[in-house]
Amino acid sequence: MARTNLGEFEETILLMVAILDGEGYGVTISQALEEHTGRVVTFGTVHNTLIRLEEKGFVRSELGGATNERGGRRKRMFQITAYGSRTLREAQQLREELWRLVPPNALKLGGI
């Protein structure tokens, strides 16, 4: 089994990028994270994770058009790469396989 270099938080952020499907940038990703997982993290965490994900080749980004609401500043839009989506899929598959291996009773609380 090839070890993918994807941490738990990274995976979540990557999933957000996938969910937003081309609409993902710092703001939307932070909001989606909060909305779907209830996790509130600093913007720096999201920002750093996105940079790391890009360094690892899971996402690619480009500076999008400037909008007025941002005072003319451009957004960096993120998109999942083929490699990123494969890695996500593999992580999911691995989990499903592992779930299948769990004996039916193992997760029941003892005695109940």
Binding site for another protein (CB under 8 A): 25-27, 30-31, 42-45, 47-48, 51-52, 54-55, 62-63, 69-71, 73-76
Q: Toward another protein, which CB reaches closer, 30 or 87?
A: 30
Interior/surface letters 78-110, b for 16+ CB within 10 angstroms, e for the rest: bbbbeebeebbeebeeeeeeeeeeeeeeeeeee
Least distance in angstroms from the C-beta of 30 to another protein: 7
Q: Toward another protein, which CB reaches closer, 61 or 85?
A: 61
Q: Toward another protein, which CB reaches closer, 74 or 95?
A: 74
Least distance in angstroms from the C-beta of 19 to another protein: 18
Handedness of CA 83, 14, 8, 48 (dihedral sign): positive
Least distance in angstroms from the C-beta of 42 to another protein: 4
Q: How far is CA 64 from the centre of its chain?
A: 20
Least distance in angstroms from the C-beta of 85 to another protein: 21
Nearest by Cα to 18 from 70, 69, 96, 92: 92
* Pairing state between β 59-66 and 74-80: antiparallel
Q: Toward another protein, which CB reaches closer, 39 or 70?
A: 70
